[in-house]
Amino acid sequence: MTAQPRKNADRAPMLVYKDVRKRYGSFTALDGVSLHVNPGEVVCLIGPSGSGKSTLLRCTNGLETLDGGEVLFEGKPLPKSDVEMRGVRQRMGMVFQNFELFPHKTALENVATGLITVKKMPADEANRRAMALMAKVGLSDKTANYPSNLSGGQQQRVAIARALAMEPHVMLFDEPTSALDPETVGEVLNVMRQLALEGMTMIVVTHEMSFARRVASWVVVFEKGKLLEEGPPTQIFDAPLKERTRDFLSHLGWDG
């Protein structure tokens, strides 16, 4: 099989992980992970639960501190101070498993709040921007709804719109469909697929193998805190190099 070139390999990487290590007591969550993400790539992290995928995302935006190695974002190591890290997080959109919406605010207010409080945008301008983003995720008719009156899929799309409001340079998705009913998974994945088509740099922790196969430009397989295998989707899903990768995909019922 001819090696497939990575997207935008001629440009400086957006993110670089160098020998990243993270421990929780005696448990090693990340054991010397090194990889990079190019601008415009969709990098999907797959592997068994507890293999370190979500921990890597949390280290990426400073929710977890490193016990070794370093993470470079746009050529610079992540800052140590919370104040500086808050500035970096404005350039990293994060979408969690469980939406994390403000229950006392409408969908529109959830999207607009960061623009008003962080970017100091006038309320009317923030609301216009939030309306446009609600339309982008297909929820123009739900702007006045509170989270409790939205389905899980709708709540997650609001969460995506809220992250996009900050105009991030990279979007981090931590199993964004794992808490959803099967019938609402597709509407979230469709929004993510559209972002990929628009060239958004994305790192996605997912168990949705069909999404990874069709949308990812690069796939990374984790096992026990280590990088087991990485490559284009055609390699990982159609001709994996590692027996453990084949076992993992077979366990999920992946048949291509």
pLDDT band at 52 (very low <50, low <70, confident <90, very high): very high
pLDDT higher than threshold 60 for residue 151: yes
Assess whether 118 and 161 both reside in one domain: yes
Assess whether 106 and 180 both reside in one domain: no
Strand 15-24 relative to strand 68-73: parallel, antiparallel, unpaired?
A: antiparallel
Residue 73 lies in a domain: no
pLDDT band at 1 (very low <50, low <70, confident <90, very high): very low
Among 147, 167, 187, where does a domain finish?
Answer: 167
pLDDT in tens, 211-227: 999 999 999 999 999 99
In this prediction, residues 189-216 reach a mean pLDDT of: 94
Q: What is the pLDDT of residue 197?
A: 94
Among 119, 145, 167, where does a domain finish?
Answer: 167
22-40: b (≥16 Cβ within 10 Å) or e: beeeeebbbbebebbbbbb
Q: What is the pLDDT of residue 100?
A: 87
Query: What are the backbone dihedrals phi and psi of residue 58, each rounded to the nearest 5 degrees, phi first?
Result: -70, -30
Q: What is the pLDDT of residue 82?
A: 85
- Identify each DSSP E strand in the chain by its residue range: 15-24, 27-37, 42-46, 68-73, 76-77, 92-95, 170-174, 201-205, 218-223, 226-231
Q: What is the pLDDT of residue 57?
A: 95
Per DSSP, the three-state class of 131 is helix
> What is the domain-level CATH number for residue 200?
3.40.50.300
Assess whether 53 and 162 both reside in one domain: no
pLDDT in tens, 12-31: 999 999 999 999 999 999 99
Residue 128, domain extent: 101-167
Assess whether 87 and 109 both reside in one domain: no
Assess whether 141 and 56 both reside in one domain: no
